[in-house]
Each structure stands twice: as C-alpha cells, then as structure tokens.
Structure 1
Amino acid sequence: MIKWVSYQGMQGWFNILKPIIVVHHISRMKNGNHMIISIDARKGFDKIQHPFMMKTLSKIGIEGTYLKVIKAIYHKSTANIILNGEMLKAFPLRTGTRQGCLLSPLLFSIVLEVLARAIRERKKAHPNR
C-alpha cells in the first residue's frame, strides 16, 4: 500500500521544513531500503493512458459489469475546443481521467497503487539499483 508519510504544498517558505525533516529522518533509518518518489497529483490525473488504466483494472481483478461501465465511459472519448465562438473539430482523448467524474480519484489511486507495487517488486528483484 502507498504510504502517505506527508503531503506538503508550497504555502510559504515556513512549510518547506517539515518535508525536509521527514526525508532526513527516512534517510537515517537503519536498514537503508527506502525510496522516496514525488508525484505531482495535479498533473497525474491528466497523464494516465486509457489502455494502461484498463489493463491495470483487469490485472487487479475488476471485471464484468464494473469494467464494462468504465470502458464505456472512456471508449472513444473526445473533446472540443471553442475558439472565437466557433467549435473546432472534435479530437480523441487517450489520456487522463474525466474531470468531475466520481470514479476519477478511485481510478487514479488504483493505477498509482499498481505502480507502487511494481516499483517495490523491481526493488526486491534488483536491490542494488
């Protein structure tokens, strides 16, 4: 499971100290088998590729009606841009979760958890990398 040790945003310079202390503390722990990854979640929702998301959902056992509904939501998604009051031709969306969709945070968390598991597995297989 992903461990959210600390979530810090830039809310002024005084708040930068806490994540630095956390990183320093983790680096001083005895077994030395630690990894710190920083992911900008604001951008992450936009970057998830739909085929990867579907493969990930299947891999963790989401199937049947649930998977069909999610696939239907993302199948042939398109977007339009309005420029100077005129709607331009629709273009396909192949990445990103849908803004405002109640499933988006859950889908993002699932994909992120599978990514974290893959990183841990790789770390176990290649501990010196």
Structure 2
Amino acid sequence: MTANSALLVVAAALIDPDGRILLQQRPPGTSMAGLWEFPGGKVEPGETPEAALVRELEEELGIATHASCLAPACFASEPIGDRHLLLLLYVCRKWQGVAQARHATALTWVRPAQMYGMQMPPADLPLIGLLEALL
C-alpha cells in the first residue's frame, strides 16, 4: 500500500446524555447506499483529522463542535477496491445545535448493542464492540 492508495476518513460517535450514538443512513446513488454509518468524511489535503471532522459534522449535520471535544476512540482498516480505508473514530459528547440529516436519508439514535442488528459498512462493524466497552 502506498500513501496515495490510502483513504483517510474520520467519523464521530456522537453520544447523547442517555448513552445513545447517532447514526446516519447513506443516501441513494452513493456507494453503500442505505447502510447506517457514523457521521464524518474524508480528510482533505492539509487538514488535520480533527479539523476535518469538525468541518464534516457542520456540513453533514449542521452542528458545531471543537477539536478539543473530540476524543480519539479507535480505528478501522479495510480494503476498498484498489485503495485502503483507514477510518479514525472519535467520541464526541459536546456540540451545539440539533443534528439534521443534510446529506443522509435519515438519522437515528441507538445504543451500541442495537448496532449489531443494523446494516453498516464493513469498516464500521469492528468498532461496535469497542464503543460498547467504552460506554
């Protein structure tokens, strides 16, 4: 794997006061349409992972947070075609605003144990157990 073949993606496990995590459903016409995932996206050139996640949360959900509110939790590594996905998952418990599905088909708040029964991208699946242990 070369650096150019690696795809660096950041995602957030937004945790509400009841210990539920926000998932969004991928819209039709996208790869893995209909699957439930953690909100986030690609890290752009010159961006830190934390800055990318703050930007993505504002773009995708209309919420504001700060890099200091993002706690690194775990990561996933998954081949995707001729590239390799490296997904960095952060936990976030503090943000401003109410999450809205700006790009996703739907949003849902679930407990980690409920995620096992949901259709999620392969890279997200190994993260469920780690989140369950954290909460």
Higher helix share: 1
Q: Which has the larger radius of gyration?
A: 1
Which structure exhibits the higher relative contact order, with contacts defined as CA atoms closer than 8 Å and separated by 6 or more residues? 2
Report which of the two has the higher share of strand.
Answer: 2
- The verdict on a shared fold, with TM-score over 0.5 as the criterion, is no
TM-score class, shorter: under 0.3
Q: Normalised by the size of structure 2, how large is the TM-score?
A: 0.22
